[in-house]
Structure 1
Amino acid sequence: MLSLKSYRSYISLILLFVPPVLFGLLLVVFQGNDKLRLTRELPYLPWQFLVMGVAGAIATAGGVLDWRYHRNPLNLKIPKKERDAEAAALGLGGVPMFVLMWLAMMQSNPATWLIPILLVLIYTVVAISYDEFVFHIKRCGPLETAYHRMLVFGNGVAWLAWFHFIFC
Structure 2
Amino acid sequence: MRYPQGGGLTAERRAFRERIRVEAARMFAAGQDNAVVAKRLRVSVRSVQRWRRSWNDGGPKALQSRGSPGRPKLSEALFAVLEQELDKGPVAHGWPDQTWTLDRIRTLIGRCFHKSITLSAIAQMLRRHGWSHQVPARRALERDEDAITGWVRETWPQVEAPRRRSVPTSSSRTRPASR
Q: Give the TM-score normalised by structure 2.
A: 0.23
Relative to its length, the structure with more helix (as a share) is 1
Larger Rg belongs to? 2
Q: Which has the higher contact order (CA 8 A, sep 6+)?
A: 1
| TM-score normalised according to structure 1 size | 0.24
